[in-house]
Amino acid sequence: MKIAGKLAAKTLEMIEDHVKAGVSTGALDDICHDFIVNEIDCIPACLDYKGYPKTICTSINQVICHGIPDEKQILKDGDILNIDITVIKDGFHGDTSKMFFVGNKKPHAERLVKITQECLYKSIELVKPGVRLGDLGNIIQKHAELNHYSVVRDYCGHGLGLNFHEEPQILHYGQPNTGMSLKEGMCFTIEPMINIGTHKTKLSKKDGWTVETVDGRLSAQWEHTILVTSDGAEVLTKREEESF
């Protein structure tokens, strides 16, 4: 799990220089696929997973998650983009995502992205044996709502290991001191999806994957794979730019 997580993080670090206006999300997918298969000798977990057609997910602006890369989908100045990458190494999964700015940052978008990352970090800080899942969701919900944002309820984090999605589900909202208690050795993702407007979502009838905000307003997401240790948490998908 540690190796898979590190390699997923490495893929996100690699793609950063390629995220710029005029580049298609399809091109980003091609670059990531080549890197995952030929450079780090992994399997792209998303490709053909329940029929998903690409290696990565690219979710732009009002797309909450599961956006499908496309050669005709060209990044524009001012866009915000989530790239979600999951790799399989020796049977084990590493799952992570990051927000990217395309060109100039718009203040309202920059604030949303920052607060969403803070939601992730605040929940990670709580992780240790004995803490309950409701505590993780509650701190995310509180921080988002104090900043006048909403938390997506239709999609959540998940257990991770030899399978892409395992129990438990990690909700990003909830009540303190409720839900399963964390135990040493657990691995799961925390991946809050935070919206500027309503938390309500709509699923594309055209492709059956792309999830957008109902009101067309911006959404942001950050994701890490977490290991519960004896006294806290280890972030298995930690990037070089981060300190935990």
- What DSSP assignment string belongs to 185-225? T-EEEE--EEESS-S-EEE-TTTS--EEETT---EEE-BEE
| pLDDT number for residue 38 | 98
| pLDDT number for residue 206 | 94
What band does 48 get if pLDDT is binned at 50, 70 and 90? Answer: very high
Mean pLDDT, residues 205-211 taken together: 96
Q: What is the CATH number of the domain that holds 225?
A: 3.90.230.10
**Span 151-169, pLDDT tens digits:** 999 999 999 999 999 999 9
Q: Residue 192 pLDDT more than 90?
A: yes
| pLDDT number for residue 156 | 98
Domain with 204 in it: 2-235
**Mean pLDDT computed over every residue of the chain:** 98
**Span 99-109, pLDDT tens digits:** 999 999 999 99
Q: Which of 38, 32, 1 is nearest to 14 (CA)?
A: 32
Cα 173 to the chain's mean position, in Å? 16
| Residue 95 placed within a domain | yes
| Residue 241 placed within a domain | no
| Residue 213 placed within a domain | yes
Mutual angle of helices 107-126 and 133-146, in 10-degree steps: 160
Mean pLDDT, residues 43-62 taken together: 98
Number of helices followed by number of strands (H, E) in the chain = 4, 15
Percent of the chain with pLDDT over 70: 100
| Residue 209 placed within a domain | yes
Mean pLDDT, residues 41-59 taken together: 98
Mean pLDDT, residues 139-144 taken together: 98
Kindly report the CA angle at 131 between 129 and 135, in degrees rounded to 5? 155
Mean pLDDT, residues 24-30 taken together: 98
The domain tally of the chain equals: 1
22's tokens: 């005029």
| Residue 126 placed within a domain | yes
| Residue 184 placed within a domain | yes
Q: Write phi, then psi, for 226 (nearest 5 degrees).
A: -115, 140
Q: Which of 147, 141, 58 is nearest to 97 (CA)?
A: 58
36's tokens: 């995952």
What band does 200 get if pLDDT is binned at 50, 70 and 90? Answer: very high
| Residue 14 placed within a domain | yes
Q: Which of 241, 227, 219 is nearest to 190 (CA)?
A: 227
For residue 169, which amino acid is it?
Answer: Q
**CA distances (Å), 221 to each of 163, 188, 229, in order?**
22, 16, 25
Q: Which of 74, 43, 71, 68 is nearest to 53 (CA)?
A: 68
Mean pLDDT, residues 7-18 taken together: 98
Give the global pTM: 0.97
What band does 244 get if pLDDT is binned at 50, 70 and 90? Answer: confident
48's tokens: 């053909």
| Residue 242 placed within a domain | no
| pLDDT number for residue 94 | 98
Beta strands in the chain (DSSP E): 43-44, 57-60, 63-65, 80-89, 92-101, 150-151, 157-159, 166-170, 187-190, 193-195, 201-203, 211-213, 219-221, 224-228, 233-235
Q: Residue 110 pLDDT more than 90?
A: yes
Q: How far apart are CA 199 and CA 153, in angstroms?
A: 7
